Structure 1
Amino acid sequence: MANRLGHRHDGNVSEIVSKRSSRNAKLAKIPLGIAGRAAVGFGRKLAGGDKQEINAELNQKAAEQLFAVLGELKGGAMKFGQALSVMEAAVPEEFGEHYREALTKLQAAAPPMPVAAVHRQLDQQLGTGWRQRFREFDDQPTASASIGQVHKAVWSDGRVVAVKVQYPGADEALRADLKTLNRMAGMMSALIPGAEIKPILAEISERTEEELDYRIEAGHQRQFAKAFNGHPRFVVPKVVASAPKVIVTEWLDNATPVSQIIQRGMADPEGTVELRNRVAALMGEFHFSSPAIAGLLHADPHPGNFMMLEDGRLAVIDYGACAPLPNGFPKVLGELVALEVEERYDEVVALLHDHGWVIPGKTVSIQEIQDYLRPFTDPIRTETFHFTRRWMQRVAGKATDISNAEMMKTARSLQLPAEHVMIFRVLGGSVGICAQLDAEVPFMKLMNDWVPGYAETRRAVG
């Protein structure tokens, strides 16, 4: 039967595939298919075919297969695909259109699970009398994601609510996917230029158990909702009820996902400049201010998790992945940026050594650090910075250029301390979304207002 999302199912097709062998077989299609097409392409080149045209065709088919499988499997596969989609702007133009289309599809809804499966999950999580807690419950989902889908309902007190229900078997599927994807990381790194495959998978793996328990998500969301209650620019829906695999929150009316605003901007760049700049500025402010206001960092910067309301406020959903920062951002981050702005590289190097950024036993010179950081420092050279796809592609290209021996030597001497990993993943994802928005952001004002250590270090210089 058809449903409101335009998908069709027969009651079984959309059940999440939980058997490890079944999921592994689907994921295994990716490298096998790519290898087979590469062999065919090599033969066509030998026969005198146009190399550039053949390579483009092979890349397109590889991208389509990769993301079709990731989206179909939901679980860890789809979550990984969604994480990649944030970095879509970094994909070089020669790979651009087909990768971009495939990646952005993963920001949309996936086929829903059957109604009977939804009801069974609600029976188990909210009790067999769960219907009495709702005045109305819409069996057809309004949205779906990597490990759950959302239904619109009316709570017993008359509030319109969003009910997120985790897919049965999502826990087993998520764990199985991540093991398989980690084995395929090398192949996918070659397939998707500019994407940091291994760190993305490592981070998803690390927070897997936390995201599978919706009670943890509910706790995060309650903390954010309390901290941002009444804020003039941000809305965090309140939590109404929660269980390990079901969470009920307030419904958002007339909310436009940032993913739609990105698409609108690509179709009408001139007519959406003001909107795109506002969205990017609000997203930046939310991420930079949250540790100071809420003691947490929202760690899933995906365009579907941010929505513009008609009154101009930014609504933020999905708090499954959050980094606890009860004292705000680490002071050393502000100090490093301030020293970089002032080009005091001797002090930058000393700070990197003192705080564990240089691998024990390794050394880096002032000139090496200066050369290494140069491609990443454009946003701190002016008060506002215009993030674009072209800029993202240039930075990603330099960061992953293995032919640059000096850059690679420096990179192999450095490490990102564990306490900063999630912060930099969020920053990278946010920058990726700003580049997709093609937006100008008051980056240095955000640093000055919200990152400890920055303003103090700049004042000390002055």
Structure 2
Amino acid sequence: MSDLPRKAVTRTAKLAALPLGFAGRATWGLGKRIGGRSAEIVGRELQQRTAEQLFKVLGELKGGAMKFGQALSVFESALPEEIAGPYRAALTKLQEAAPPMPTSTVHAVLAERLGEDWRELFEEFEDKPAAAASIGQVHRAVWHDGREVAVKVQYPGAGKALLSDLAQLSRFARLLGPLVPGMDIKPLISELRDRVSEELDYSLEADAQRAHAEEFADDPDVVVPAVVHQRDQVLVTEWMDGVPLSEVIADGTDEQRDRAGQLLARFLFSGPARTGLLHADPHPGNFRLLAGDSPDGPAGEWRLGVLDFGTVDRLPDGLPATIGASLRMTLDGEADAVYQMLCEEGFVKESIELDPDAVLEYLLPIIEPAQVDAFTFTRGWMRRQAARVGDPRSPAHQLGKQLNLPPAYLLIHRVTLSTIGVLCQLGATVRLRDELEAWMPGFVPEHEPAGADLTGSDPGPDEDPAGPGTDIDEEAVEETTA
């Protein structure tokens, strides 16, 4: 493919082919079964073909189509296991790669945005992209001062493509819904569309990355590359090696999985407290696991590298204290107090009256990870939660439909849910309560000291581990219905 397809009619036709293709394959499958092939074999082939088409279309189009695919990929944990494999492989590809721009286009963009003498800025520049994503691709290079850098170049026409794709995707959102049971696709697409202008502005991304890089400069757990240069739609940052989180999900050791999960949870809650910003694109392609002096050293040496600050939520006071306080009161069984707070914050509309005890019963499974010292996030847990909130016959589904998600909480909700999806992919055992006590405003009453070690260090090998793992995450999935 020679360039980012920009003609609306071309992109619309490709996206429209997705639901048509789903329907056509269903007809093909019916014919095969009538012909005598088993439903199980035909079903596997059907899912494989659908997954392949999904990646082909979303990946080739880049833009909003690929961004939607990346956002969707973190929820593959909710798919029934018999169909998860093909989608997992196809969607995971969207986290790390997409067909690249031609070299001539890259050079033309750099000349236009950095000046005709752009090559003088670099000692070396690799024409082959190191990564290609939804609105830009990354090239490895050596800056003129000798630093290894990542050069992020935005695709020409990316803005129009993003808006066009997301508008088209929203038209057949209902047909895409079955890809993730229990999740409403349309609000996800709407929220992605609302963030387009910010993500296209690399100066905003540079500011957000600088804030994180400065705050986490000497952090023992989290690494954020420094910003080297930014101009127009080109962003140059320090290069960061490491094991992509997608590889840890596929082949990582238990130590790597647990360490990555703990640090991911720590970054989710500590980032807003320390920078006033929430990293809002938590798919595995944006994280690396970095070794210490010895790649084979103990788990405590692994650090979490964080990339891509194009989408952030600005929270100058950190995460809302309402979340922490309501979570604590739910754990304490204070049904009336929780219900009153939800009403005051707009989670329950004035025209609706609910039973506080029923609301508490609805919320308790969601916060299971915070009820124990350590919680093991699993795909099985995620699937059970998706089934519980997605089944129209279930009480959870009926109650969830009556709850409301205020606009101020939309992005926080999606980021939390996406992070839990990644934790389930990792199968990580995480001491989530430690992170809540250390970083979540309102979770620990003001008269009580926080129970976590604010240095963020993990227990040593001779220390008592946090406790038995259980099966995880209702918290994330349940929020989706709110």
Scaled by the length of structure 1, the TM-score of the pair is 0.91
Identity %: 47
2:147 is aligned to 159
Q: 2:139, 2:150 within 8 Å by CA — same for their partners in 1?
A: yes
Structure-2 separation of matches of 1:234 and 1:192: 31
The match for 1:8 is: none
Kindly provide the CA deviation profile for residues 133-172 of structure 1, in whole angstroms up to 9, marking residues without a partner as x: 2222111111111111111111122211110001111111
> What residue number does 2:440 align with?
451
What is the CA distance between 1:64 and its match in structure 2? 2.2
Residue 136 of structure 1 corresponds to 124
8 Å CA contact 2:78–2:180 kept in 1: the answer is no
Q: Is the 8 A contact 1:87 1:195 kept in 2?
A: no
Q: Note if 1:403 corresponds to 2:393.
A: yes
Matched to 2:77, the amino acid is A
Q: Is the 8 A contact 1:339 1:457 kept in 2?
A: no
1:299 is aligned to 280
**Which whole-Å CA distance do the structure 2 matches of 1:23 and 1:171 have between them?**
13
Q: 2:244 aligns with which of 257, 281, 290?
A: 257
Tell me if structure 2 keeps the 8 A contact 1:338–1:458: no
**C-alpha separation in 2, matches of 1:111 and 1:409:** 43
5+ residue gaps in structure 2? 293-301, 450-482
Any conservation in 1 of the 2:79–2:179 contact (CA below 8 Å)?
no
Corresponding residue SS for 1:412? helix
Please, which moves more after superposition, 49-58 or 376-385?
49-58
Counterpart of 2:380 in 1: which secondary structure? helix
Give the conservation status (yes or no) of the 8 Å contact 1:363–1:413. Answer: no
Aligned amino acid, residue 436 of structure 1: Q
Pairing 1:434–2:423 present: yes
1:353 aligns with 2:334: no
Provide the C-alpha distance between the structure 2 equivalents of 1:68 and 1:37, rounded to a whole number of angstroms.
16
- Kept in 2, the 8 Å contact 1:221–1:238? The answer is yes
Q: Secondary structure at the match of 1:403?
A: coil
Contact 1:75 1:173 (C-alpha < 8 Å) held by counterparts:
yes
1:42 is displaced (CA, Å) by 3.3
Quote the Cα distance in structure 2 between the aligned partners of 1:191 and 1:228: 37
State the shift of 1:407 in Å.
2.7
Give per-residue Cα distances to partners, 1:48-88, cap 9 Å, x unaligned.
Answer: 65444434432332222222211111111111101111111
Q: Within the alignment, does 1:327 sit opposite 2:317 as a pair?
A: yes
CA distance in 2, matches of 1:391, 1:336: 23
- In structure 2, relative to structure 1, the CA distance for the partners of 1:459 and 1:29 (3 Å cut) is same
Task: Trace 1:408-423 onto structure 2 (pairs within 5 A).
Answer: 408-423=397-412
Deviations 1:200-223 (A, max 9, x none): 212211101110111110011111
Aligned counterpart for 2:201 among listed residues 192, 207, 213: 213
Report SS of the residue matched to 2:402.
coil
CA contact (8 A) 1:389 1:435 kept: yes
Match 1:64 to one of 49, 52, 62: 52
Q: How far apart are 1:358 and its partner, in Å? A: 0.6
Q: Partner letter of residue 21 of structure 1?
A: V
How far apart, CA to CA, are the structure 2 residues paired with 1:372 and 1:74? 38
Distance 1:104 1:411 in 2: 30
Distance 2:404 2:373 in 1: 29
Aligned to 1:341: 331
Amino acid at match of 1:60: Q
Paired with 1:103 and 1:193, the residues of 2 have a C-alpha distance of 16
Q: Which secondary structure does the structure 2 equivalent of 1:121 belong to?
A: helix
- Report if aligned partners of 1:218, 1:242 keep a CA contact under 8 Å in 2: yes
**Inter-partner Cα distance in structure 1 for 2:130 and 2:153:** 12
Query: C-alpha separation between the residues in 1 aligned to 2:77 and 2:96?
Result: 17
C-alpha distance in structure 2 between counterparts of 1:458 and 1:208, whole Å: 42
Corresponding letter in the other structure for 1:354: E
For 1:341 and 1:363, how far apart are their aligned partners in 2?
A: 22
Output the aligned Cα RMSD.
1.8
Deviations 1:269-315 (A, max 9, x none): xxx11111111111111111011111111111011111112212211
CA contact (8 A) 2:59 2:99 kept: no
